[in-house]
Structure 1
Amino acid sequence: MKFLISLLFINFSFSQEITLKGNITDNQNRGIQSASVSVLDENEDILGYSFTNENGEYLISFDKPTNNTIIVEVACLGFQKASKKIDNNTNSTFNFQLEDKIENLQEVVVESGKKIRIEQDTTSIKVASFGNKTEQTVEDILKKLPGIEVLKDGTIKAHGKAIDKLLIEGEDMFDKNYKLLSKNLNAKVLDEVQILDNFEDNPIFKKLNNSDKVALNLKLKKGLQNVWFGNVTLGSGIVSENRWRESLNLGLLKKKIKFFYFGDYNNLGEKATDLINSNVIDRNSFGNDRFEYKAKSLYTISNNEIQFFSKSQSVFNKAFLNSLSFNSKFRKNLSLRGVIYLANDNQNQNSFAETNYNLESNPVSFTESNFYNNKKTLASTELELKYTPNDKNYITNLFILKNNPNKTANNLLFNSDQINQHSKTNNYTFYNHFNHTYQVSENKVLNNYFYIGNDKINEKSRIESPYLNSFLNVNTSEIVTQQANNKLFYIGNKSKLITKLKKLDITNSFQFEFNNEKFENDFIAENQNIPTYENNSELRQFSIVQDNTFRYNFSKKIDITANVNFQNTMFNNNNSETNIFYINPSLYFNIKKTGFGNFTVSYSENNSLPEINQLTTNFQLTDYRSFLIGTNYQKPLNTATTSFNYYFYNDEKRYSINTSLFYINSKSILNTSSNLTDDFNFNSYIQTKGSESYNFNFAIVNYIRKIKLASKIETNNSWTTIPLNVNSTEFETSKGFTNNIKYSGTTYFKLPINFDFGYSYNYFQSDFQGIKTENITKDAFLNANYKISKTILAESNNSLYFVNNQSYFFSNLVFSYTPKESRFSYRFLFNNILNENEYTYISINNYAYYKSSIQLVPRYLLGTVTFRF
């Protein structure tokens, strides 16, 4: 509570602004609603504006200008415009009385506001037409809008593509960490969402009109410009479990600065650190590239978290989030964007698991009772400077600094023996991206991208295990310690020349990159190092890459794109140097923006090199009962992908089809050969022929106007063939098939009651060593919202899961009360009414039988009060 109240007062205390207020009336002294009130300086630049309320009252706050005089202008349809010149030194009250404006109209056309408008590459969607007032965040609204899809991890797709940016009032505030915005901004401030096709934020690249990216722009309700706005929410458990939520949203949108603060503290199962991207890899032939590499951690302690349920049903976590973002324009051609955030999760998860490896005549069985605790913190500063010195140059510099400490403990019973694990990890990261884009001529653009990065992981793990001590022949009371350090440094430059001819787009780029990674781990027992399980590796790579892309546009709707990537790498692994040359080709044929949809057929090959953790010379401990050893470099790893994609969107009719077919042939991979015993797993990397897989996905969305129903049918299928080697001298083939079918619907009745509902069927089958197994799960949900009155809304959220002949039913009730003409609103959440307290999951695939039981979040009643300002 203290940090919320303190921050609120701090932000207001530093505000250096002038505030004007007053009444706008007609000649009969009646208040005029929706009159626009603008404040201008002597150069007639707008300092701020607002609209009058239903009583004709207005309030405007704006930065104090340098000149002594400002102008207040008032305008409204049907009235004469009025203005006054005033002194800018003090806060004042100014009233206006407007005279009627009489005009002779030849013709009057009245057109109701459209729910969806399409203007060239921009699709604007009014959110009020698709919500039902149960939405709490922007993400809740986006899930219901045509043409937009929100994936389970919060990633947003629009018109079939992952979005590049989530803008707010045309400004980028969060870059790739847009989930901080979509999962925290209050849905009630949102007026419109715009889908921006062919989006490009680089003004020099934009002149060539080569982009195929997509972005979203959030338009806020009128009256939120030049004033502080937001909300404070306080919530506490009323009955049974001690649950709470405290949050603060704070925003300011002005001409020269935009500011957002999000603060949240809760123990409702959500995870704050999940909102942050770990690293970004972007390769764009006709736009900006971005390379951020991560060092590899070594030791893993599993949380046994179930992905099947929502986090509020199955995750025990205390989440804390502080996020401050701003975008400031010093001048028209110079701006600074910044994001500072601190996220912390403290998770406690208890579970029981039973595992059986059915390996012909040598079965392996064991049980695990886990008591897991994890404390994870992620703090970061991100600063981006954008400078446009003239119409031919554009310069950006993005700097990112991160600190990510992590503490994990797991006290478990392995069969009947006590095993304790503790791991402490410190992770320090910085990235810097410098881009200079220069327009050489009307049809040529040169981009120089310089990047540098450093990622460092220090990890210390302590294991108390009688099995491990017995295996190492040390005293049973001894604690085994493993210390690992991984340091990754890289630096590179990529120069790219883009040429646009009549029907041909050409990109030629030249890139060099130096990459140096050091990996070492010490294995200590009885205060002595055990060299057999220690590694000291260094991998240096110097790569020269030449990349060529050609796109021939037969017309505005048909093009073919070919790319050839040549790469030569000096690969130095522990002073053993190899010169490696390979080619990565790709070919795309596109038919787009036609009346019958968009088609893409493609083929690509990807050659890559093994990573440092795959080249270790000795075994290393990766969890309390697993060892892993690397291999020697032989040849590049190779995967070929053939794909067909088709999508069709008609946002106005809320109709879309999206389908894809992929064939992936991993010709050469690093596979693992596993030797399983009752107590340990020993895994070795071996380069082999890889897997083959076919993937087919299909989704159709349709809106039936007669019954006011929007529905979605989707199916995802995959067929895989994987070589496995488990307790054998050779690899054997394992075949798998998965099928997922989903149906969901939303009603838009002009009644007090409406529904969201859906059903999902999930099937998995495997065939290994002549043994066929299958696994089936099903789930359904039904959410109803009922408008009891204009101020009271009731929601019933129900989920039913069928897993291995067992059923789980979750039911929640929500009551929302929003008094008229009040800034306060109240909400009561009754979670897990039937008190489902344990979930048992059984997985049978390939050669393993796995059964897991985990505690579920017990029922509780949470009451919250929200104040909007």
Structure 2
Amino acid sequence: MNKIFYSLILALFVGQAFAQTNEVSATLKDSTGYTVIGAAIKLVSPKDTLSAVTDIDGNFTIKNVKNKSFSITVTALGFKNFSKAFNFESTTSNKFSLGTIILKNDVTLLQQVTVDGTPDVVVKEDTLQFRADQYKLKDNALAEDLLKKLPGVEVDRDGGVTAQGKQITRVRVNGKDFFGGDVKTATQNLPADILQNVQIIDDYGDQANITGIKDGEPEKILNFTIRPDRNKGYLTRGTVGFGDKDRYQASVFGAKFNNNQQISVLANFNNTNANIFNLTQQGGGRRGPRGGAMGFNSSGLTDVKSFGINYRDEWSKKVTAYGSYSIFGRNNTLESSSLQQNLASEKNGYTTIDDGKETDSKSKNLNHRFDFNIEYKIDSLNYLKVTPRVTFSTTDKTEDGKFSILNNGDLSSDGKYLDLNDSKNPNLGADILYNHRFARTTRNLSLSAYMNTSSSNSNQDYLNRSIKYGNDPITAAQNLYQKQLIENDNTSNNININTSYIEPLSKTKSLEFNYEYGYNKINNDRNVLESKIETDAPAFNADLSNDYKYSFITNRVGLNYRVKQDKISYTLGMGVQPSVLKGESAGKNLYTRNTAFNIYPSARFQYKFSRSKEFNINYNGRSNLPSYNQIQPVVDRSNIQYPVVGNPNLDAEFTNNVNIRFNNSNITSGNTFFTNFNANFTRDKIVSSVKSVKDPNSDAIQERSYANANGYYSLNGFYAYNRQLKEKKYVFGLRGMANYNNNISFLNDEKNIGKNLVLSQRVQIQIQPKDWLEVVPSVSYTYNRNNFTLDSRSNSEVHTWSTAFDSKVYFTKTFLWGAQADKNFNKGYNSVNANPFIINTYIEKQFFKGNTGALRLTAFDLLDESTAISRTVNESYILDSQSNKLSRYFMLTFTMRINKFAGSTNTNFNSGDRERYRPSGSGHQGMGRF
């Protein structure tokens, strides 16, 4: 009896031990070998029911299985359900591996089901994709508010956007440029609730998107995809506001969506420094120089008037058209002070020169921009895209300043100057892209052409009155006078033709042959009238005038071997690029011809760990043309103290660039890690050559020219890490950057190396424990060090601590309070002593159904400490500057939103809607071969 009793006790003990220690594990993959992330696993046995979710590598483990016989059911987005029974009664092990389970695709499911199981972040080739509905936003949030929550993305106070440490230069909607790609126009006007996905893309141009051949350095762009249920209807948003100090603002944005048709209109008038159109690079398929750029900062006091219209439609099943027109006017008044510390050699007794300057300037800018795109899908094998582009800008500027120059700490000269300048800049260009895919193969032929003609006509009236002091008290001071009337006519014509042919070797391998022809011709006609005696009228000065023409011609031939597999893709190739740089100044009987022959490899490697983890290495090389100011053989004495002389014997630069990138997003935890490293090495770098002028009869202090030099390189790295806690109620973010530049220059014919190191680290926490509270504090530190081999006296270290605080508090569903606070602590500037503390705050009351109306009272810069400070370091000087910004004022604004989609008049999309809706699919729309 005792034996039976002990046997029963032992059996129960063993059974209980088995139930507590058994483990079942497996790996899920699709038919192509990719791991399946976020799949739901259900284990059912006679004794229990357990569940799990696959991790970023497609693995799952279920512990505490109480029976050796069980069934497994797997459900995953886009795949057919998997069910199978297992029996391990005959085994003695307590760890059961089911091996690799292959899931079959379900096409119907992909078209219809929701995407609740997809990760927040998807990594696909050169694209990071974020699901918009996974980030908590309040009613009436804009795309800019959504971007602020994305890991690795930063939106500054002026609306500029950076991603992974690089500036965003263009924005698209559903794969098409929106208002010519203008960043602020999209981010500060599109409602966040109409967005399905946000994609951060390394864009290599239209030809690369179609052929898959990526070459050169990419643009960092944004693409917003619209939710399907928000792609038919209209939205409007209007704001009017008035404040003290005669401040005003009025804006209206309207957009109509009808599936593939979209029309948007934007108008804005304000004197609050709000620059709506802020394009840094024009649209188009090829990455190259673009005219008519409209990039401004927020310094000074600015009046803005702007209007724009954006259009997109499918004219037929084969033809899609989209484009925009905008007109932008800007009047700016700026007061600034600066101290320029010119570098000098410590050898041979060379002196240090410091130049202090105070300036008042007024400028008026008017810019027109028109771009249009026509995509013609001729048939299933042929594609044509034509993009004409026109820009025209005018500028009128008046600058009134005074200066004082110190030589070894003693006053050398001082004076005043007046500079009047007006210019006109028309620009006309076009891109053409044709692609032919051969039937029943992956053989492909692509041809692209970029053509551009631009001109700049400027008239400058420059007056300089100064006093040059002697080296001792006995030497009499000299009164100096200079008046110049300068007329500059500059025309530039560019043609670039690129052809690529892909010959398949197998399903995964191919050869690519490419040829690129580049032609750049610049004509510069400069006429100068000058007077050095106040009573004399300005007369023609042949030494300062010039008619100079130069051209730069390149031919590049390349061969690349490409392998594209499920997880590994790589390209290995070689290219040769001969180039000819010719210059001619007939009036001065000067002719130059410089040739170069560059051989460089091309390489690209990509490894995909999973849909959210990827590693990339990319190498490319390119030639850079010197500007006409650097190369034309004439003295520019528009600044009497700092004349500039061009060097017609300059060679073109050649730059080698290596980029390494790693992206990782953990679907299980929601944590993300992005990092990027870039190295740039330039041969024949065009650098400054500065000489001190010792002639006592000369007005000049330093004369600048240009030379080629080797030894320049730059290294920069970036990382971003975000950790989510308690279902994104708390998001902890780390972001860091390190830049090192080995700059080269010549001082009095001696080589000077400037070693610049910049380190930056930022910590930020997004706190949103309740729907009514949102707090985002951050702290950052930046260290900027400059060391020079010839002038150790100019070595410097600048330390900047910055704190920022953003908050929103909803006292009720319709009443909120918000605040922004920024405090800087600067140490190490030579002449700037400003540590501004900027506080902006507002209270807002929302009205009407759906909170479509809002009345807001805002206080800007409560402590009245707003100022702009900066440090510029180049090869020959360190410049610290400080300028005025719009200071304390109060404004009352009223905003109204009326939206209607799919026949339902809903003026807003609330957080409940965001939770119920899940977009059907997450593809990259309209981006060629993505």
Q: TM-score, normalised by structure 2?
A: 0.71
Paired amino acid for 2:890:
L
Paired amino acid for 1:829:
T
Q: How does 1:351-370 map to 2 (within 5 A)?
A: 351-357=336-342, 359=344, 360=346, 362-370=351-359
1:690 aligns with 2:714: no
Q: Distance in 2 between matches of 1:399 and 1:745?
A: 45
For residues 577-616 of structure 1, the C-alpha deviation after alignment (integer angstroms, 9 at most, x for no partner) is 4554322322233223448932233444444453433222
Instruction: Please tell me whether the aligned partners of residues 141 and 187 of structure 1 are also in contact (alpha carbons under 8 angstroms).
Output: no
Instruction: Please tell me whether the aligned partners of residues 273 and 344 of structure 1 are also in contact (alpha carbons under 8 angstroms).
Output: no
Match of 1:760 among 765, 780, 784: 780
Per the alignment, do residues 200 and 520 of structure 1 end up closer, same or farther by CA in structure 2, a change over 3 Å counting?
A: closer
- Deviation (angstroms), 1:263: 1.1
Q: Distance in 1 between matches of 2:620 and 2:203?
A: 25
Instruction: Please tell me whether the aligned partners of residues 356 and 365 of structure 1 are also in contact (alpha carbons under 8 angstroms).
Output: yes
For residue 145 of structure 2, give the secondary structure of its aligned residue in structure 1: helix
Q: Distance in 2 between matches of 1:493 and 1:111?
A: 45
Per the alignment, do residues 542 and 725 of structure 1 end up closer, same or farther by CA in structure 2, a change over 3 Å counting?
A: closer
Paired amino acid for 1:701:
N
For residue 252 of structure 1, what is the aligned residue in structure 2? Answer: 256
Paired amino acid for 2:281:
N
Instruction: Please tell me whether the aligned partners of residues 164 and 176 of structure 1 are also in contact (alpha carbons under 8 angstroms).
Output: no
Match of 1:830 among 855, 859, 869: 859
1:639 aligns with 2:660: no
Instruction: Please tell me whether the aligned partners of residues 121 and 665 of structure 2 are also in contact (alpha carbons under 8 angstroms).
Output: no
For residue 456 of structure 1, what is the aligned residue in structure 2? Answer: 455
Match of 2:840 among 789, 806, 812: 812
Q: Distance in 2 between matches of 1:508 and 1:164?
A: 30
1:657 aligns with 2:673: yes
For residue 643 of structure 2, give the secondary structure of its aligned residue in structure 1: strand
For residues 381-417 of structure 1, the C-alpha deviation after alignment (integer angstroms, 9 at most, x for no partner) is 1111111121111111100001011111111122363
For residue 528 of structure 2, what is the aligned residue in structure 1? Answer: 523
Q: Distance in 1 between matches of 2:773 and 2:496?
A: 59
Q: How does 1:31-46 map to 2 (within 5 A)?
A: none
1:143 aligns with 2:148: yes
- Deviation (angstroms), 1:191: 4.4
Instruction: Please tell me whether the aligned partners of residues 542 and 571 of structure 1 are also in contact (alpha carbons under 8 angstroms).
Output: yes
1:324 aligns with 2:352: no
Match of 1:795 among 804, 809, 818: 818
Instruction: Please tell me whether the aligned partners of residues 184 and 277 of structure 2 are also in contact (alpha carbons under 8 angstroms).
Output: no
Q: Distance in 2 between matches of 1:660 and 1:221?
A: 31
- Deviation (angstroms), 1:488: 0.7
For residue 339 of structure 1, what is the aligned residue in structure 2? Answer: 324
For residue 335 of structure 2, what is the aligned residue in structure 1? Answer: 350
Question: Structure 1: any 5+ residue segments left out of the alignment?
Answer: 1-109, 281-287, 298-302
Q: How does 1:427-442 map to 2 (within 5 A)?
A: 427-441=425-439, 442=441
- Deviation (angstroms), 1:370: 0.8
Q: Distance in 2 between matches of 1:729 and 1:209?
A: 44
Q: Distance in 2 between matches of 1:656 and 1:120?
A: 11
Q: Distance in 1 between matches of 2:753 and 2:213?
A: 48
- Deviation (angstroms), 1:807: 3.0
Paired amino acid for 2:239:
T
1:483 aligns with 2:487: yes
Q: Distance in 2 between matches of 1:839 and 1:204?
A: 40
Q: Distance in 1 between matches of 2:202 and 2:741?
A: 35
For residue 324 of structure 1, give the secondary structure of its aligned residue in structure 2: strand
Q: Distance in 2 between matches of 1:325 and 1:761?
A: 41
For residue 568 of structure 1, what is the aligned residue in structure 2? Answer: 578
- Deviation (angstroms), 1:277: 2.1
- Deviation (angstroms), 1:704: 2.1
Q: Distance in 2 between matches of 1:119 and 1:352?
A: 48
Instruction: Please tell me whether the aligned partners of residues 174 and 180 of structure 1 are also in contact (alpha carbons under 8 angstroms).
Output: no
Match of 1:377 among 366, 385, 392: 366
Match of 1:616 among 632, 639, 645: 632
Instruction: Please tell me whether the aligned partners of residues 782 and 801 of structure 2 are also in contact (alpha carbons under 8 angstroms).
Output: yes
For residue 404 of structure 1, give the secondary structure of its aligned residue in structure 2: strand
- Deviation (angstroms), 1:761: 0.8
Q: Distance in 1 between matches of 2:207 and 2:685?
A: 41
- Deviation (angstroms), 1:756: 0.9
Paired amino acid for 1:260:
S
Paired amino acid for 2:892:
G
Q: Distance in 2 between matches of 1:814 and 1:268?
A: 16
- Deviation (angstroms), 1:706: 6.9
Q: Distance in 1 between matches of 2:877 and 2:578?
A: 42
Paired amino acid for 2:309:
L
1:536 aligns with 2:547: yes
For residue 632 of structure 2, give the secondary structure of its aligned residue in structure 1: coil
Per the alignment, do residues 653 and 326 of structure 1 end up closer, same or farther by CA in structure 2, a change over 3 Å counting?
A: farther
Bigger mean CA deviation after superposition, 568-577 or 227-236: 568-577
For residues 734-753 of structure 1, the C-alpha deviation after alignment (integer angstroms, 9 at most, x for no partner) is 32322111112211212532
1:860 aligns with 2:858: no
For residue 268 of structure 1, give the secondary structure of its aligned residue in structure 2: coil
For residue 407 of structure 1, what is the aligned residue in structure 2? Answer: 396
Per the alignment, do residues 187 and 420 of structure 1 end up closer, same or farther by CA in structure 2, a change over 3 Å counting?
A: same
Per the alignment, do residues 564 and 149 of structure 1 end up closer, same or farther by CA in structure 2, a change over 3 Å counting?
A: farther
Bigger mean CA deviation after superposition, 478-487 or 268-277: 268-277
| RMSD (CA atoms) | 3.9
Match of 1:499 among 500, 503, 506: 503
Question: Structure 2: any 5+ residue segments left out of the alignment?
Answer: 1-112, 405-413, 470-477, 531-536, 585-590, 694-698, 828-832, 899-930
Q: Distance in 1 between matches of 2:513 and 2:582?
A: 28
Q: Distance in 2 between matches of 1:469 and 1:523?
A: 24
Instruction: Please tell me whether the aligned partners of residues 211 and 444 of structure 2 are also in contact (alpha carbons under 8 angstroms).
Output: no
Per the alignment, do residues 393 and 720 of structure 1 end up closer, same or farther by CA in structure 2, a change over 3 Å counting?
A: closer
Match of 1:714 among 731, 735, 740: 735
For residues 765-824 of structure 1, the C-alpha deviation after alignment (integer angstroms, 9 at most, x for no partner) is 222233442111111011121111010111011111111375321111112221241642
- Deviation (angstroms), 1:125: 5.2
Instruction: Please tell me whether the aligned partners of residues 663 and 693 of structure 1 are also in contact (alpha carbons under 8 angstroms).
Output: yes
For residue 466 of structure 1, give the secondary structure of its aligned residue in structure 2: strand
Q: How does 1:173-188 map to 2 (within 5 A)?
A: 173-174=177-178, 177-179=181-183, 181-187=185-191
For residues 454-502 of structure 1, the C-alpha deviation after alignment (integer angstroms, 9 at most, x for no partner) is 01011111111024999xxx99776311111111112343222123432
Paired amino acid for 1:496:
S
Q: Distance in 2 between matches of 1:267 and 1:608?
A: 39
Paired amino acid for 2:462:
I
Instruction: Please tell me whether the aligned partners of residues 295 and 455 of structure 1 are also in contact (alpha carbons under 8 angstroms).
Output: no
Paired amino acid for 2:881:
S
Larger Rg over CA atoms? 2
Per the alignment, do residues 605 and 739 of structure 1 end up closer, same or farther by CA in structure 2, a change over 3 Å counting?
A: same
Bigger mean CA deviation after superposition, 738-747 or 392-401: 738-747
Instruction: Please tell me whether the aligned partners of residues 333 and 360 of structure 2 are also in contact (alpha carbons under 8 angstroms).
Output: yes
Instruction: Please tell me whether the aligned partners of residues 303 and 331 of structure 2 are also in contact (alpha carbons under 8 angstroms).
Output: yes
Q: Distance in 2 between matches of 1:163 and 1:467?
A: 44
Match of 2:754 among 734, 747, 753: 734
Paired amino acid for 1:324:
I
Q: Distance in 2 between matches of 1:159 and 1:767?
A: 28
Q: Tell me the percent identity.
A: 15
Bigger mean CA deviation after superposition, 156-165 or 366-375: 156-165
Q: Distance in 2 between matches of 1:210 and 1:560?
A: 11
Per the alignment, do residues 459 and 707 of structure 1 end up closer, same or farther by CA in structure 2, a change over 3 Å counting?
A: closer
Q: How many residues align?
A: 735
For residue 45 of structure 2, what is the aligned residue in structure 1? Answer: none
- Deviation (angstroms), 1:844: 8.6
Q: How does 1:103-502 map to 2 (within 5 A)?
A: 127=132, 129-133=134-138, 137-146=142-151, 166-168=171-173, 170=174, 172-174=176-178, 177-179=181-183, 181-187=185-191, 189-195=193-199, 218=224, 225-237=231-243, 240-255=244-259, 257-275=261-279, 277-278=281-282, 289-292=286-289, 311=298, 314-357=299-342, 359=344, 360=346, 362-415=351-404, 417-441=415-439, 442-467=441-466, 479-500=483-504, 501-502=506-507
- Deviation (angstroms), 1:694: 3.2
Per the alignment, do residues 467 and 144 of structure 1 end up closer, same or farther by CA in structure 2, a change over 3 Å counting?
A: same
For residues 289-332 of structure 1, the C-alpha deviation after alignment (integer angstroms, 9 at most, x for no partner) is 454455999xxxxx9x9x7xxx3xx5421122211011122211
For residues 151-206 of structure 1, the C-alpha deviation after alignment (integer angstroms, 9 at most, x for no partner) is 788676778988797443x3624275241542342435534324387999979975
